[in-house]
Amino acid sequence: MPVIDIKANETILLTYHVIVKELGNLTNLVTVGNNTDNNTIEVLPTADVAINISMPDKATVGDEVQVNITVTNYGPSDAENVVAKWIYNGITYEIVGDSYGIGDFTNGNWNIGTLKVSNCFICANY
């Protein structure tokens, strides 16, 4: 960074942009001569959670069909307290098994809990 001469009673503004790469409290410390100032920001976790439901396009009354619900965390942080709620009309469902978490199957809530970055939860219903 270049050296800047500041005249008496002159104010300059230095603006820069940074990319935050970690969680927690980050402190920016600046020293000019024998004067120091700092500012702290709190970086909060963020998660990009996506859901995809796949099932047959058509069925007849009485058919047993497979429904796959996939919940994926694309990050950058772990997703906490994740709940997938399936609102269903005109069907009765049974949970055959899941690969993650626990469920309250009487009302269609799947309590996934914490979903790590790049992990996915797949729930298959028949």
For the chain, percent of residues with pLDDT exceeding 90 = 19
Out of 2-6, 7-11, 42-46, 122-126, pick the least confident: 122-126
The C-alpha atoms of residue 101 and residue 79 are separated, in whole angstroms, by 13
Q: What share of the chain is helix, strand, coil (3-state, %, to 5)?
A: 0, 50, 50
Alpha-carbon distance values, 123 to 33, 82, 93, 109 (Å) = 61, 14, 12, 11
Q: How many Å apart are CA 49 and CA 69, to the nearest integer?
A: 13
**What are the boundaries of each domain within the chain?**
47-125
- Beta pairing class for 79-85 and 109-115: antiparallel
Give this prediction's pTM: 0.59
In this prediction, residue 35 has a pLDDT band, given cuts at 50, 70 and 90, of very high
pLDDT tens, 36-47? 999 999 988 889
